[in-house]
Amino acid sequence: MNCPHCNTPMINTYVCSRCEQTNVLMRKIIFASNWHYNQGLEKIKVKDLTGAATSLLTSLKYNKFNTDARNLLGLIYYQTGEIVAALSEWVISVHLQKKGNIATTYIKAIQNNPGKLQQANKTIQKYNLALQYLEQSNTDMAIIELKKVVNLSPNYISAYQLLGLLYIKTKQFAAARKVLVRSLRVDRNNTTSLRYLEELAKIAGDKVRTRSRKRDGFSQINDPNPVVIEEKAAGRYTDFNTGLLSFVNVIIGIIIGAAVVWLLLVPSIQKTEAEKYNRVVVEYSEKISDKNSEISSLTKQIENLKTEKEALQSQLDVYASATDEGSNDLLLLQAAKEFILGNQSEAGAILANVESDKLDSQEAKDIYEHILGETKEQTINSLYQNGFNAYEGGNYSEAETYFTKVLRLDNGNENAIYYLASSYEKLDDLTNAAIYYKRIVDEFPSGEWFDVSTQALGNME
């Protein structure tokens, strides 16, 4: 919102920073946002997370820049297992208030705990897998995945609620009540969980009343040996008939037979399973021992290969160094070869690539000076012309190469110094350009390029 007097943006304040006028409407908005934020704090104290989230969302509707409310809303989402929603609120908060925002600490705490992120990712994957199973009408697998979810994230209220619904669907009412009550331990006034419990009470209550009516009701049985029922003032009693006693005896015999089978067969089965388990343990122990030996051998091979690599790298560095030192000598030999063959222009062109100060022996320097003396003028003119043509054609990188070679052969060539400086300037290499412009100013105060170079230096300052 902007100030109605000076149109200055007013963010999270009702007093204009420019004209210091108080905006009454903005003041009411901020006060309303803070009031709902305080209501959220009070509800959190009594574990009413749903009510607190509602109050904080209302606070943000009034003032989206209320970062305290947004950060607290993120903490509620985090507490209820909604880590993605929590991170979203904290990222928005940091975007709105970059300095002095505690949301930065929350985000870093999660980023620095990769185990927590992996667990959250695994929780979301299993929750989504449970939803896929439900789409495929595979309720049992969905229940198994949701059990894993609540074990990974004990505060994930949405998982508790969905698991409770599935238990109600499969008529496991005690389990449904247990998980829904557990969700209320996290958020005691969660309206969804309370509504599910209310529906569960209606369904489970009807089942209990139905069972009670069946137990207390009277039903007629067509029995060839009917039970004699006599009424007394003290109450009711029944006489058992022989058919019922026979049936009870059969049941008792079955139970005794099952007990005998259990006592005789189960120990043998357990012994067989124990032997199988021991064999499997021995096999896996041998495999683990073999793998450990293999790992130890591979570790030694890796160490040997590292040592060989370091030795080869050292030799390669030595060869590379020797190659760099011998490159000038090789170029000098090539120039001498061309000179002997009578190709003076080619010899001069190759000689321009030789850095004379890096030549080791006096003999090499003497050869360099001799070939330079015979080919200098022709080579310099050729290189200078090539550089000038490249400069005029806008190929400043190629021009810089040619003028650098000219200066290797004639370090005091004023024109080459100027065009080299100008080429560097065209290439935006102002550092080198300033060096060569300064050479013109210092070494050729009466030369034709003095004024241009002075002006160029002034523009670079």
Delimiting residues of CATH 1.25.40.10 domain(s) in the chain: 24-112, 118-214, 374-460
Distance (Å, whole) CA 175 – CA 169? 11
> What superfamily would CATH give domain 24-112?
Tetratricopeptide repeat domain (1.25.40.10)
pLDDT at residue number 218: 37
Residue 450 and residue 441 in contact, taking contact as beta carbons nearer than 8 Å: yes
pLDDT at residue number 395: 92
151 backbone φψ class: left, alpha, beta (φ>0; ψ -120 to 50): alpha
Quick one: pLDDT band at residue 5, thresholds 50, 70, 90? low
Residue identified by tokens 């990222």 is 91
Distance (Å, whole) CA 138 – CA 128? 14
Task: Tell which residue, 319, 315, 355, has the closest CA to residue 335.
Answer: 355
pLDDT at residue number 222: 39
Q: Inform me whether the pLDDT recorded for 216 exceeds 70.
A: no
* Tokens linked to 311: 């030795």
Q: Inform me whether the pLDDT recorded for 447 exceeds 70.
A: yes
pLDDT at residue number 10: 57
Q: What is the pTM of this model?
A: 0.38
Condensed to tens digits (0 to 9), the pLDDT of residues 264-321 reads 777 777 778 887 888 888 777 778 878 887 888 888 888 888 887 787 777 666 555 5
Highest mean pLDDT among 17-21, 241-245, 382-386: 382-386
Task: Look up residue 54 and give its amino acid.
Answer: T
Condensed to tens digits (0 to 9), the pLDDT of residues 142-182 reads 899 889 888 888 888 888 889 888 998 888 888 888 888 98
Q: Residue 76, Cα to own-chain centre: how many angstroms?
A: 22
3-state secondary structure of 2: strand
Residue 162 and residue 146 in contact, taking contact as beta carbons nearer than 8 Å: yes
DSSP string computed for 52-119: HHHHHHHHHHH-TT-HHHHHHHHHHHHHTT-HHHHHHHHHHHHHH--SS-THHHHHHHHHT-HHHHHH
Distance (Å, whole) CA 453 – CA 461? 13
Q: Inform me whether the pLDDT recorded for 259 exceeds 60.
A: yes
Q: In what helix (H) or strand (E) does residue 453 lie, and over which residues does it extend?
A: helix 450-460
Residue 350 and residue 335 in contact, taking contact as beta carbons nearer than 8 Å: yes
Classify domain 374-460 at the CATH class level. mainly alpha
pLDDT at residue number 278: 80
3-state secondary structure of 359: coil
Q: Are strands 229-231 and 236-238 parallel, antiparallel or unpaired?
A: antiparallel
Distance (Å, whole) CA 237 – CA 457? 124
Beta bridge partners of 9: 2
Q: Which residue has the higher pLDDT, 27 or 379?
A: 379
Distance (Å, whole) CA 212 – CA 202? 15
Instruction: Give the 3-state secondary structure percentages of the chain, helix then strand then coil, rounded to 5.
Output: 75, 0, 20
DSSP string computed for 203-268: HHHHHHHHHHHHHHS------SSPPPEEE-SS-EEEPPPHHHHHHHHHHHHHHHHHHHHHHHHHHH
Quick one: pLDDT band at residue 59, thresholds 50, 70, 90? confident
CA separation (Å) from 149 to 26, 102, 125?
Answer: 45, 29, 9
Q: Inform me whether the pLDDT recorded for 130 exceeds 80.
A: yes
Among the listed ranges 11-25, 233-247, 416-430, which one has the minimum average pLDDT value?
Answer: 233-247
Residue 51 and residue 192 in contact, taking contact as beta carbons nearer than 8 Å: no
Condensed to tens digits (0 to 9), the pLDDT of residues 80-97 reads 777 788 888 888 888 888
Q: Which CATH architecture has domain 118-214?
A: Alpha Horseshoe (1.25)
Mean confidence (pLDDT) of the chain: 78
